[in-house]
């Protein structure tokens, strides 16, 4: 039976083997350091790579994710005891509790158009005055799905214990900015697991409009991890930095 990639311990192990520290993590650490942000929320923290690094850098970090297997893996990592791990999603967020909310690894694309405005409003409520929202979303102009659709050669992933897993991806063509893909994973004991993911690709104007409608001012949007303008990076990203809009003063 197909399962979510972050809900199966074996797939979580494969995910971690394929997703080591990268440029994007350096970008988020540097963006976080631009302003004072003692209290940080990592929304959709997955297996906690960035949350643990931010806690080690001295921030008070909360990691929220609905996937139990991902959080279990996060809790087992060195330094995990410095992070407050909360299973769940927007429903577990306290009000005005954070100075910065990060949403990394394209978590934003996992919300459909019905969910997205409510998620943004909930993140806005969880931020204190002047708080920042920082997230990434793949630029539809970068056509990332073309790499997933093309007959993908099977790749071999080596797990920390030495076991190898054969993995491949099948994606559908985008329709109305939505791409679905299946990840297939074949283990040496004969087990084959499949994960299904659906991603929404929003354009820069769509992202700006939705973020502003939720009560933020968009500060900057970058197109790549070296802070290139939108459309000028092979990364094909839309990296949004937004600030909670000040509430109008009452007389
Ligand atoms: C590609 S991973 C990114 C994990 C991590 N942020 C990173 O950069 O490695 C996407 C994560 O989004 C989480 N996610 C999916 N639906 C969510 C929701 N409704 N609320 C919060 N997180 C969610 C998944 O469980 C998964 O851990």
pLDDT per residue as tens digits for the range 62-91: 999 999 999 999 999 999 999 999 999 999
Instruction: Tell me which residue has its CA closest to atom 25 in ligand 1.
Output: 67
Average pLDDT over residues 14-26: 95
User: What confidence tier does 151 reach under pLDDT thresholds 50, 70, 90?
Assistant: low
How many angstroms separate the CA atoms of 107 and 51, rounded? 14
87 in ligand 1 pocket by Cβ < 6 Å?
no
The pLDDT score that the predictor gives to residue 235 is 97
How many angstroms separate the CA atoms of 143 and 129, rounded? 37
Q: Is the pLDDT of residue 249 over 90?
A: no
Block residue for tokens 């303008």: 229
**How remote is the C-alpha of 64 from its chain's centroid?**
11
CA of 251 to the centre of ligand 1 (A): 42
Block residue for tokens 């949007």: 221
The pLDDT score that the predictor gives to residue 150 is 62
Taking every pair of C-alpha atoms in the chain, what is the biggest distance, in angstroms? 70
Sign of the alpha-carbon dihedral angle for 214, 36, 102, 68? negative
pLDDT tens by residue, 37-71: 999 999 999 999 999 999 999 999 999 999 999 99
The pLDDT score that the predictor gives to residue 5 is 80
CA nearest 104: which of 31, 170, 18? 31
Block residue for tokens 């279990």: 72
How many angstroms separate the CA atoms of 219 and 249, rounded? 22
User: What confidence tier does 1 reach under pLDDT thresholds 50, 70, 90?
Assistant: very low
Burial letters 132-157, b for 16+ CB under 10 A, else e? bbbbbbbbbebebbeebbeeeeeeee
The pLDDT score that the predictor gives to residue 175 is 85
> If 0-12 CB within 10 Å is exposed, 13-18 middle and 19+ buried, where does residue 65 land?
buried
Instruction: Tell me which residue has its CA closest to atom 7 in ligand 1.
Output: 105
Q: Is the pLDDT of residue 237 over 70?
A: yes
> If 0-12 CB within 10 Å is exposed, 13-18 middle and 19+ buried, where does residue 29 land?
middle
User: How many residues are recorded in the chain?
Assistant: 251
8, 44, 112: which to mutate for ligand 1, most atoms within 8 A of CB?
Answer: 44
The pLDDT score that the predictor gives to residue 84 is 98
pLDDT tens by residue, 176-225: 899 998 899 999 999 999 999 999 999 999 999 999 999 999 999 999 99
107, 109, 138, 169: which to mutate for ligand 1, most atoms within 8 A of CB?
Answer: 107
The pLDDT score that the predictor gives to residue 152 is 64
101 in ligand 1 pocket by Cβ < 6 Å?
no
The pLDDT score that the predictor gives to residue 171 is 84
């Amino acid at each position: 039976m197909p399962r979510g990639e972050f809900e199966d311990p074996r797939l979580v192990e494969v995910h971690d083997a394929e997703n080591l520290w990268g440029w994007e993590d350096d970008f988020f650490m540097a963006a976080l350091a631009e302003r004072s942000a003692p209290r940080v929320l990592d929304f959709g923290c997955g297996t906690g790579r960035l949350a643990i690094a931010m806690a080690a850098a001295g921030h008070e970090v909360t990691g929220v994710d609905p996937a139990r297997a991902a959080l279990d893996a996060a809790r087992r990592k060195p330094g995990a005891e410095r992070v407050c791990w909360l299973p769940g999603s927007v429903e577990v967020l306290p009000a005005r509790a954070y100075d910065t909310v990060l949403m990394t690894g394209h978590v934003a694309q996992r919300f459909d158009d019905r969910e997205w405005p409510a998620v943004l409003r909930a993140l806005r409520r969880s931020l204190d005055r002047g708080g920042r929202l920082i997230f990434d979303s793949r630029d539809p102009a970068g056509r990332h799905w073309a790499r997933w659709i093309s007959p993908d050669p099977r790749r071999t992933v080596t797990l920390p214990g030495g076991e190898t897993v054969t993995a491949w991806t099948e994606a559908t063509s985008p329709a109305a900015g939505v791409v679905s893909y299946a990840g297939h994973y074949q283990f040496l004991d004969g087990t084959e697991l499949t994960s299904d993911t659906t991603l929404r690709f929003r354009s820069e104007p769509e992202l700006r409009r939705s973020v502003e409608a939720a009560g933020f001012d968009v500060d900057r949007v970058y197109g790549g991890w070296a802070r290139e303008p939108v459309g000028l990076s092979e990364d094909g990203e839309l990296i949004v930095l937004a600030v909670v809009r000040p509430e109008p003063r009452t007389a």
